[in-house]
Structure formats: structure tokens, C-alpha cells
Chain A
Amino acid sequence: MLSLDKLQSTGKKATRDGFGAGLKAAGDKHDNVIMLTADLRGSMKSEDFITTYPDRFIQMGISEANMMGVAAGLATGGKIPLTTTFANFSTGRVYDQIRQSIAYSDKNVKICASHAGLTLGEDGATHQILEDIGMMRMLPGMTVINPCDYNQTKAAVQAIVEHHGPVYLRFGRPSWPIFIPEGTKFEIGKALHLSEGSDVSIFATGHLVWYAVEAARQLEKEGISVDLINIHTIKPLDAEAVVASAKKTGAVVTCEEHNRYGGLGGAIAETLSAQHPTPQEFIGTDDTFGESGEAEQLLEKYGLGVKDIVAAAKRVVKRKQGSAVVG
């Protein structure tokens, strides 16, 4: 069982580096793993795979729509294609191609999307997609995964390759703390309990899991006990774990580098409102586009910082107490 004291940063690496490492490992194990990229091989940190298996690497050029179709074709013939480009060009730009040729056609394609969210940084809002989880979550049959650090991303790549069906794997650009212990089991659709607590549930995905860990440490110091859960698989959501935690604490905070609409917060609200209505606070961008800046500056400016999570937790605990008085 993990706990806050075991979740220490052991260094920093980008989740996209974890993708590259996971791809190489998956490629070693499965000779039908094929990587496609739309002119971003360098950004995907996959040189190890590409140089080891040059015949299993397909350079598409800047043509994402064609990449999705070619991947669907490769999957039809029994390959396991992984498409790679930035998250913005992996989703909104090619939504219809994914919808028809991959999701509706039930093709075993893995859409691997880097540079998601605000932490892409200086390139600015054209590239900082904050709607992708929502779009992909809406597609019937699509599995949606947003790992939180290098180790988890590496494990996730291996898991999605061994899972049959279309998957959206979302990761990011910046160097980020590595804190999930190596060898932690990655199970698609299974929440990862990071720390047991009783006052408030914090459900976090992606880069914000690290912030949630730091927020939980502060909250514990102030006497608020946090049930901290990493939701790496947003779809299918581990509803059992979500409801069990909400029943235990009666107060929920969701944390994601994504619009408050349509992402993890929405998924959890949908589940809880149907099964166990619970006061909830949403950490996410407030229906806005991003802008240029450094990753951590942006997270702070858009209300996704550690202090924002701490404040949200206190707010929701108060709301719970208020409703308890009323109730």
C-alpha cells in the first residue's frame, strides 16, 4: 500500500520520456507494435524504438488525418499501431477520422498524445489543448488514460499495447517529478490509491497528481485527512473506487490539467450524482484558453496550483459540514 511518505520525488523526467521508454519495452515484447508520427519523432522521445526497429516506424509527414486512417488500416491487418503527435493534433484536428475509422470501426489503434494541457508552455494556446479528455471520453468504446509521471507512463504504454481496442493515451512535455515507485502495477480501469484518509477525497490525474500529493501533505499538517486517489484511467472510470471513497469522506476534489467541463471532474460528478451525490470542487481550467508562459507559472495563473487544491479541499470540507448541519 502506498502512502504520502512513500511518494517522494526521485528525480525529474518528462512523461513523454516515459512514453519513449514504454514504447521500446512494448516493441521488444511484441513484434507487431508499429509507431507512426506526424513529423514529431524528436518530440516523442522515441529514438530508441526507431533506431532499434526502423522497419516498424512510419513517418507520416504533417498529415494527421492520413495518419489515423493508415493506423486503422494497419490494425485491420493485425498490427498494433501507435499514432504519435501533440494532443491537440491527436484529437480535435482528427476527431472524425478517429470516430469513424477507429472507434466506430473498433480498430486496435493507440492514439498517443504528447504536449497535452497548459504545461506545454511557451507555444501558447493554439497548442495547449484542454478539451481532449472530454472529446475522447465521448467516443463509445474509447479507453482514456492520463498517466502522472515517467514511471506510470512507461507502464501505461505496455498495458495499452496488451489491451485490445482503441485507446487515447495523454501525456506531456515538461520535466516532472518521478514519484510513483517503479514496478507499481498499472491496471487499466483501476484507480491507484495513493494515501488513505477520511475527511476529503482528492481524485487527480496527469501532472496534477504530484500537486495533489503536495497539497495532501499540507492538508494533513493542518489536520485534514486526505483520501488521495490517482485516476489514471478516466474511461472506463473505476466507479467502485470513486463511490467507496466518497462514501467514506463525504467531500470530493477533482484535479486535472483540462477544462473543468467534460474531463475527470465531469466523469466523477456523473458517477457520484447517480450513485452517491457528494459535494465536489473542480480543479481545472475555467472554460478558457491558455497562453504562453512557463509550465508551473501557467498552472498557478489558471488556478491549478498546490494552494488552489488546498483551498478547494478546505472549501468542500466546509460545505460538507454545512450540509451536515442542515441535514
Chain B
Amino acid sequence: MADIQELKRTASQVRRDIIREVYGCQSGHPGGALGNTDLFVALYFEVMKHDPSFNMEAHGEDVFFLSNGHISPVFYSVLARSGYFPVEELKTFRAIDSRLQGHPTTHEGLPGVRIASGSLGQGVSVACGVALQKRMDGDDRTVFVLTGDGEQQEGQIWEAALFAPHNQLENLVLIIDDNGQQIDGPTKEVLQLGSFADKYAAFGWDIMHMDGNNMEETVRVLKEAQAKRNGKPTCIVMKTEMGMGVDFMVGTHHWHGKAPNKEQAENALSQLEETLGDFPMEGI
């Protein structure tokens, strides 16, 4: 049974890591990373069966794919905090010679990453492939994939949306981060997405909803989706607030792809309790 308080404490540290990662290199995407922190912590610290000693093929493990690779700061923090690589390596985020590229890649051999992402719209297809492979190999673990909501404007997503129900990929869980924001502004102004629930239901998916900034609800819904085997893939429409946890970053696309200055970073960190110890870094 999940210790929700413990997960929240971990999430606070992960949010600190995010602020310090993007502050350190003065680039990156803090907004979506902060909004998705509770989801990542729930997956990696409670829901998924996974092995930080890392094997690419992941037989007998649940696997997660990040399709919207730009929220890499949260992915790296959670991988490091769950033991895939040393926490202190977070200080190399986006720096020269680092395994922590701006967008995640397998190319530098960073444990925990199974596909490159950054060019949007590709992760659901990859997750479909792994879900198929697991079924072929009699491995009943679950494949999770996260996309942004703006990312759902990519056409490839809808090819995969047809494919998964047709092939009854019941071990596949797609999570859409429905925060209503993309780089150029609110999604409803940039290119309307309408109802994800209606669209995916029409394509033949099971629909679930959750508040992705409510840890208790996130854990409960993810576990239900993980256990469900009814011949259909699952789409979780997840409401989050971009920038969650830092008052001046919440609910705006302004911090989608912008790093805080020193004063802003210190302000942000003052709102987030240090619970597991910060990684070493000069200046902040």
C-alpha cells in the first residue's frame, strides 16, 4: 500500500531537482516537468515493477516511454532518484559531454532510457511495438506512454490510436497530459483538440480520468489501468497544471521552455522542501 506522504516528499525533491537542472544550464522546459512530477513519482516509486540495474529488453518489467521528450528534467530526476544512475549526474543536464541530453536519448547509454524522443508524436507507436512484443513473449507486464496534449496534434499519434485497439493491446496505457498549454499558447487557441475522452472512446480505447497533481488519485488510477485486461488499450486523460509546485510558474505557458534566473530559482526553491538532499551544484 502506497505511503502517499512519502511519495509527496519525493515529489518535492524531484521538483527541486527540476528547478536546479534548468537553472544550472539556463535552458530546458520546467513547466511541463513540474506539472508531471506527481505522475513520474507515482510510476517509478509505487506503480511500476522495474529494475534500476537496467536491461534494454525489460522482460518481466513494466516499461515507461516519454514521448514528449522536452520534459526530460523530471524524467532524469526520477530515474536518478530511483537508482538508474548517480543523482549527482543531474548537474550535467544539457552540458557538453553529458549523458543527460536536452531531449532523452539511448545514444549516450543513459540507463532507463529506451528510445530517443523530442521530435513529437512518435512514442505511442513505439509503446505499441513493445506492447505487441510483450504479448508475443507471454510477458504480462504493462507498457505506459506519456504524451503532451499539444503533441496530440501530430498525425502519427492517430495512426497509433487506430492500431492499438485493432490489435487489442490491453497491456498498453496511454497518458495524455491535458494541461491545456503548448509553446505558442493555450491549446484551444493554437489548434483545438476537443475532447480526448470522446475521440479515444470513438477509436475503441477504454477511457479513464485523473487529476495528475493529486498523488493519491494518480496512484489509484494508474494501478487500476495497470491491472486491467479487457481486450482494450487504456487512455488516461490526466489533468495537470503546468508549473505545479511553484506559485509563479503555475497555469501559464510562460514557463514551458524558459529557465528561471537566480532570484526566480531561489524563490521557487523556497517553496519546495528539500527532502532527499540536493545534488551538488555551484551557486544555488
Query: A residues bordering B, Cβ < 8 Å?
Result: 34, 55-56, 58, 60-61, 63, 65-79, 81, 96-97, 99-101, 104-107
For residue A133, give the distance in angstroms from its CB to the closest CB of chain B. Answer: 23
- Measured between beta carbons, the chain A residues less than 8 angstroms from B102 are none
Whether A76 contacts B57 by the Cβ 8 Å rule is yes
Asked whether B184 is an interface residue with its Cβ less than 8 Å from the other chain, the reply is no
Whether A63 contacts B56 by the Cβ 8 Å rule is no
Residue in A closest to B57 when the chains form the complex, CB atoms: A78
Q: List 5 A-B contacts (CB under 8 A).
A: A68-B125, A69-B126, A69-B128, A77-B59, A105-B116
Whether B128 contacts A106 by the Cβ 8 Å rule is no
Whether A72 contacts B106 by the Cβ 8 Å rule is no
- Measured between beta carbons, the chain A residues less than 8 angstroms from B142 are none
Mask: chain B, 84-118; 1 = CB below 8 Å from A; 0 = not: 00000000000000000000011100000011111
Tally the A-B contacts, defined by beta carbons under 8 Å: 114
Whether A105 contacts B156 by the Cβ 8 Å rule is no
- Measured between beta carbons, the chain B residues less than 8 angstroms from A72 are 115, 125-126, 129
Asked whether B159 is an interface residue with its Cβ less than 8 Å from the other chain, the reply is yes
Asked whether B134 is an interface residue with its Cβ less than 8 Å from the other chain, the reply is yes
Whether B130 contacts A74 by the Cβ 8 Å rule is yes
Other than the known A78-B137, A97-B156, what 8 A-B pairs have Cβ atoms closer than 8 Å? A65-B155, A71-B129, A75-B129, A77-B59, A100-B117, A100-B122, A104-B106, A105-B107
- Measured between beta carbons, the chain B residues less than 8 angstroms from A67 are 125
Q: Which 4 A-B pairs have the closest CB atoms?
A: A73-B129, A69-B125, A77-B133, A66-B159
Whether A77 contacts B58 by the Cβ 8 Å rule is yes
Residue in A closest to B155 when the chains form the complex, CB atoms: A65
For residue A205, give the distance in angstroms from its CB to the closest CB of chain B. Answer: 29
For residue A141, give the distance in angstroms from its CB to the closest CB of chain B. Answer: 9
Mask: chain B, 178-195; 1 = CB below 8 Å from A; 0 = not: 000000000000000000
Given contacts A65-B159, A100-B116, is CB(A58)–CB(B132) below 8 Å?
yes
Interface of B, helix, strand, loop or mixed by DSSP: helix
- Measured between beta carbons, the chain A residues less than 8 angstroms from B115 are 72-73, 76, 101, 105, 107
Query: B residues bordering A, Cβ < 8 Å?
Result: 56-59, 105-107, 114-119, 121-134, 136-137, 155-156, 159-160, 162-163, 166
Whether B124 contacts A69 by the Cβ 8 Å rule is yes
Residue in A closest to B106 when the chains form the complex, CB atoms: A105
Given contacts A77-B57, A77-B58, A78-B57, is CB(A70)–CB(B105) below 8 Å?
no
- Measured between beta carbons, the chain B residues less than 8 angstroms from A58 are 132
- Measured between beta carbons, the chain B residues less than 8 angstroms from A65 are 121-122, 125, 155-156, 159
Whether B107 contacts A69 by the Cβ 8 Å rule is no
For residue B155, give the distance in angstroms from its CB to the closest CB of chain A. Answer: 7
- Measured between beta carbons, the chain B residues less than 8 angstroms from A100 are 116-119, 122
Whether B162 contacts A63 by the Cβ 8 Å rule is yes
Whether B125 contacts A70 by the Cβ 8 Å rule is yes
Q: Select one of B107, B126, B136, B159 contacting A101, CB under 8 A.
A: B126
Whether B163 contacts A61 by the Cβ 8 Å rule is yes
Residue in B closest to A63 when the chains form the complex, CB atoms: B159
- Measured between beta carbons, the chain B residues less than 8 angstroms from A107 are 115
Whether B133 contacts A78 by the Cβ 8 Å rule is yes
Docked CA distance A104–B126 (Å): 14
Whether B136 contacts A55 by the Cβ 8 Å rule is yes
Whether A104 contacts B107 by the Cβ 8 Å rule is yes
- Measured between beta carbons, the chain A residues less than 8 angstroms from B59 are 77-78
Residue in A closest to B167 when the chains form the complex, CB atoms: A58
- Measured between beta carbons, the chain B residues less than 8 angstroms from A70 are 125-126, 128-129, 132, 160, 163
Whether B156 contacts A74 by the Cβ 8 Å rule is no
Whether B159 contacts A73 by the Cβ 8 Å rule is no
